[in-house]
Chain A
Amino acid sequence: MSERTLTPYANSLGIIFEGEEDGAPVLALDFDNMVEGRPGHLHGGAISGLLETAGYELLRTTLMNSGRVRQLKPINITMQFLAGGKQRRTYAKGRITKLGRRNANIAVEAWQDDRDRPIATAIMNILMAEIDQ
């Protein structure tokens, strides 16, 4: 638990660790003026930040647990916005679809009240570069 640290951006935005499910971190973000887009709704960029952070945390945790040391570099992210984010806590959790030698493919979902009705989803490709030691 104590080794968990998020990026300065994630901390500033207010992203926190909510818990863990099946070895995957569940992150959360509370509604606040600084994440508001159109009045009364979460900004798509803030949702994207939460999705992306959840994807990286999942991959970081997985690599750490298997003793692999890699530098993670983003390749791309595709986001689908399915419903407006309301003024309440938003959660996000990822699932690794493929963990290769060079890159990983990760699917992330964000939800609010009903996790079977995600408000946004993302597919991320992440490069796992070897670190010169």
Chain B
Amino acid sequence: MSDQTPPFDPAKVAPLLLQSGHVGWLELKYRDSGDDWVELELPWREDLIGDAERPILASGPIISMMDMAAGMAIWTRNGGFSSIATLDLRVDYQRPARERSAVVGHVECYKLTKSAAFVRGVAHDGDPADPVAHIAGIFMSLLGAPRNV
């Protein structure tokens, strides 16, 4: 795309992207990526429990992981980093994650236009064929908008 920006390599930039802020607090890990997809992992943690009765991960951190994986999938498909913001995100829950289990998030950017990026993905706890949740979302490009506004 742009001559100046080096291509976005999710494996290379993941340590930097995932080290601080909200995703750093969640200790998200990079797993794998392809031309238009990125896979992250949310490790099991006692203080992220979302259920009064059972030790299972809350949905909030899973949404955070899917949102981050979506952003990285968009930059991967785009071939470079760009300023984007989540416009709409839908999460359909198929079942709770297994007790004390990490959750993997696989998100693909299936369409990219000048102003919008369309993503879909699956969260699972070991078997991609038996997902915990499906997500679909739309991100908007913030290109041209002033920073810090």
Q: Which residues of chain A have a CB within 8 Å of any CB of chain B?
A: 5, 7-13, 33-38, 40, 43-46, 48-49, 52-53, 71, 73-81, 84
Instruction: Decide if B90 touches A45 in the complex (CB within 8 Å).
Output: no
| Beyond A7-B51, A81-B89, 19 extra complex contacts between A and B, CB < 8 Å | A7-B50, A8-B47, A9-B49, A9-B61, A13-B60, A34-B25, A35-B21, A35-B25, A40-B148, A43-B64, A44-B64, A45-B60, A45-B65, A46-B22, A53-B60, A75-B92, A76-B90, A77-B91, A80-B88
Quote the shortest CB–CB distance from A24 to chain B (angstroms).
20
Is A80 touching B87 in the complex (CB atoms < 8 A)?
yes
**How far is B27's CA from A114's CA once the two chains are assembled, in angstroms?**
33
Kindly state the separation between the CA atoms of A49 and B50 in the bound complex, as whole angstroms: 10
The number of chain B residues touching the other chain, given as a range, is 35 or more
Whether a CB of chain A sits under 8 angstroms from the CB of B46 is yes
Residues of B within 8 A of A75 (CB): 92-93
Question: Whole-angstrom distance between the alpha carbons of A67 and B96 in the complex?
Answer: 26
Query: Are B21 and A43 in contact, with the CB atoms below 8 A?
Result: yes
Residues of A within 8 A of B91 (CB): 76-78
Name which residue of chain B comes closest to A84, CB basis.
B85
B58 at the interface (CB under 8 A from A): yes
Interface pair B21/A12, CB less than 8 Å apart: no
Which residue of B is nearest A11, CB measured? B47
Does the CB pair A49–B20 fall under 8 Å?
no
> Hey, which chain B residues are within 8 Å of A81, CB to CB?
85-89
Within 8 A of A (CB), among B72-97: 83, 85-93, 96
Which of A33, A43, A74 has its CB near the most chain B CB atoms (within 10 A)? Answer: A43
The answer to whether A43 and B22 touch (CB under 8 A), given A7-B51, A48-B64, A78-B90, is yes
Contact with A along B106-127 (1 / 0, CB 8 A): 0000000000000000000000
Closest A residue to B140 by beta carbon equals A81
Q: 4 closest Cβ contacts across the A-B interface?
A: A45-B64, A49-B60, A9-B58, A43-B22
Q: Is the CB of A7 within 8 A of B22?
A: no
| Min CB gap B68→A, angstroms | 7
Q: Which residues of B sit under 8 angstroms from A53, Cβ to Cβ?
A: 60
Most buried by A among B22, B23, B87: B22
Asked if B83 and A38 sit within 8 Å, CB to CB, the answer is: yes
* Any A CB within 8 A of the CB of B67: yes
* Residues of B close to A77: CB separation below 8 A: 59, 63, 90-91
- Cβ contact within 8 Å between A36 and B87: no
Knowing A49-B60, A76-B93 are in contact, say whether A9-B47 is a contact too (CB < 8 A): yes
23 A-B pairs whose Cβ atoms sit less than 8 Å apart in the complex: A8-B46, A8-B47, A9-B50, A10-B60, A12-B47, A33-B20, A34-B22, A36-B20, A37-B23, A38-B85, A43-B64, A43-B67, A44-B63, A45-B61, A45-B67, A48-B60, A49-B60, A52-B60, A75-B92, A76-B90, A77-B63, A77-B91, A84-B85
